[in-house]
């Protein structure tokens, strides 16, 4: 449409903090433009379930809780258009939930090779959103290797991942189960509390590692290689660890800070943190969700993260295969790794 005939976006002032007019425009995760000042403006900080605020000619997404009295908020959909970042959009250009499916018959090996190639050849920034199943399935060893070799830019998780990782590396158990034999250990049920107690003694995960008490594992490698990690608390947490953020809004903001820096987001066995991360991301950021339960993988797509690629497999096996593919690329001549 010609700019001379295009109708401008409708702006209304917020009458109080954390409150907007009833006809507010609710954002999707697709790149959004608004027509304002006789030109199209790209909306910054794109994410779903937010409002668009225009300030000094700059349009950006804000959560409802961030709205201040007097903010100029986009209302209705006049002068608003979406730019589809992938092929998951409806043919009519609309945004929908419950619009995607995941097949467990995808060629996982090919997808893993593709991911390894992006990390090795293109130096993509990879943020991992991990659940405790990473530790329970033995995937912690391979994730630690990836951190050590510089493939991981940040780790986002809950209290449990760190607790069980530290438990395993201090006492050789995961939820009291011997990591080597798979058998229940005597009094092993208390080992996760012993792990928390050790970290409490030193004041943080970093200080526990620096004291030489924690010498291996995911959290140790993060500390050693300066890889940022965010632990978001929940109602069921034991402890929690002193590093765990128990304020929900603070945890969301800390997650968002790391997700905004990512080129690829890898979600490993966590529906709660995976969906939360998906809600914070624009559709142009590649997401890969790995879970043994196909319903978990599908749920992420159903919640509107249409760019999510689902891989239904064991998380530990996935990390093993990814590590193997990266080792192959590291051990071949560079020109061969790049397909030249």
Domains defined for the chain, CATH in brackets: 10-83 (2.40.420.10), 108-161+216-337 (3.40.50.10690)
Exposure string for 169-194, b = 16+ CB within 10 A, e = fewer: bbbebbbbbebeeeeeeeebeebbee
Interacting residues of 315 by C-beta distance below 8 A, sequence separation 6+: 131, 133, 134, 137, 139, 268, 269, 290, 291, 292
CB 59 within 8 A of CB 52: yes
In the prediction, which pLDDT does 307 show?
73
Q: Which residue matches tokens 């991992």?
A: 128
In the prediction, which pLDDT does 98 show?
40
In the prediction, which pLDDT does 300 show?
75
| Beta-bridge partners for 169 | none
Q: Is 32 helix (H, G, I), strand (E, B) or coil?
A: strand
Q: What pTM, to 2 d.p., does this model score?
A: 0.87
In the prediction, which pLDDT does 309 show?
86
- Regions of the chain with pLDDT less than 70: 1-5, 85-106, 301-306, 332-340
Q: CA 162 to CA 147: how far, in whole Å?
A: 15
Round the CA-based radius of gyration of the chain to a whole number and report it. 22
């Amino acid at each position: 449409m010609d700019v001379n005939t295009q109708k401008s976006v409708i702006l209304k002032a917020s009458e109080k903090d954390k409150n907007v007019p009833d006809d507010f425009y609710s954002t999707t995760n697709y790149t959004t433009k608004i027509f304002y000042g006789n030109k199209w403006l790209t909306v910054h900080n794109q994410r779903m379930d937010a409002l668009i605020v225009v300030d000094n000619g700059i349009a950006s997404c804000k959560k409802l809780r961030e709205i201040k009295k007097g903010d100029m908020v986009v209302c209705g959909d006049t002068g608003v258009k979406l730019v589809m970042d992938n092929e998951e959009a409806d043919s009519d250009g609309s945004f929908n939930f419950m619009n995607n499916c995941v097949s467990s018959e995808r060629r996982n090996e090919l997808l893993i090779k593709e991911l390894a190639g992006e990390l090795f050849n293109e130096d993509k920034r990879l943020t991992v959103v991990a659940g405790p199943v990473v530790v329970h399935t033995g995937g912690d060893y391979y994730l630690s290797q990836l951190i050590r070799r510089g493939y991981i830019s940040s780790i986002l998780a809950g209290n449990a991942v760190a607790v069980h990782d530290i438990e395993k590396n201090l006492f050789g158990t995961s939820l009291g189960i011997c990591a080597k034999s798979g058998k229940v250990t005597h009094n092993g049920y208390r080992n996760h509390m012993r792990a928390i107690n050790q970290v409490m003694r030193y004041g943080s995960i970093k200080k526990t590692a620096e004291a030489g008490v924690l010498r291996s594992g995911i959290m140790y490698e993060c500390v050693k290689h300066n890889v940022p990690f965010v632990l978001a608390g929940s109602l069921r947490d034991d402890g929690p660890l002193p590093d765990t953020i128990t304020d929900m809004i603070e945890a969301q903001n800390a997650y968002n800070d790391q997700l905004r820096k990512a080129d690829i987001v890898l979600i490993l066995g966590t529906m709660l943190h995976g969906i939360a991360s998906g809600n914070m991301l624009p559709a142009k950021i590649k997401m890969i969700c790995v879970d043994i339960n196909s319903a978990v993988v599908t749920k992420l797509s159903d919640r509107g993260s249409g760019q999510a690629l689902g891989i239904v497999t064991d998380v530990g096996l996935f990390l093993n295969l990814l590590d193997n593919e990266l080792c192959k690329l590291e051990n071949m001549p560079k020109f061969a790794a790049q397909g030249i």
